[in-house]
Amino acid sequence: MLQPDTMAARLVACTACHGPQGRSGPDGYYPRIAGKPAEYLYHQLLHFREGERRYEPMRVLLDTMSDDYLREIAQWFSDQHPPYVPARSTRVDAAALERGRLMTLQGDAARGIPACAACHGATLTGVKPAIPGVLGLPHDYIAAQFGAWRAGLRKASAPDCMAEVARKLTPEDISAVAAWLSIQPVPNDGLPVETANLPQDCGSQTRSAGAR
């Protein structure tokens, strides 16, 4: 039973969808937020509250919360490290999975597409202070976020690197990357690395820290 007047008790409205401690929702759409970099989570909360990242239930939930309280929420979830939900199996064939692996780890230089690992870290568990990990997420959530970037529903300050990458990906690329990422084991408890040599400056490393 949750102790009253604790952050865990106050955030029941969050964990109702995102799972206990932010572990992830049971439906394959609500993502794991536990252990994500605090700056990343904070900026996502800001964007939801301001309607810059579009999901009305989140906007309504956060509407009256101050910036300081959003930072508290972000830090609390960042400090949580529950076990990862076991990855689901995939029906994607071996050729598509290999395509996803290559796109994730090597990118496609001929099309100007960097590897996911170039920004999200060699372990794909994120980079402090504001780049999230991409492992331990459901296939449907990953694919939906690529779609949101392509459609302009997710944005970052210029240069909007994720939007540029997403627009270069084909639907087949997206399905392959989402499938491969969704079945990978999560190393080092999913902890983000401290630093990384990023290929370029992106808006997602500044105030936007991901989506707007």
CA–CA separation, 18 and 85 (whole Å):
12
Q: How far is CA 162 from CA 76, 179, 207, in A?
A: 26, 18, 15
**Alpha-carbon distances, residue 100 vs 81, 111, 141, 151 (angstroms):** 27, 15, 16, 21
Residue with tokens 């990357």: 177
Distance CA 167, CA 152 (A): 10
Return binding residues for heme c. 14, 17-18, 58, 116, 119-120, 162
Say how far apart CA 140 and CA 126 lie, in whole Å.
Answer: 20
What residues form the annotated binding site? 14, 17-18, 58, 116, 119-120, 162
Residue 154 vs residues 92, 122, 187: alpha-carbon distances, Å: 26, 24, 28
Helix orientation angle between 67-78 and 38-49, rounded to the nearest 10 degrees: 140
Is the omega angle on the peptide bond into residue 159 within 30 degrees of 0, that is, cis? yes
Looking at residue 187, what DSSP letter applies? G
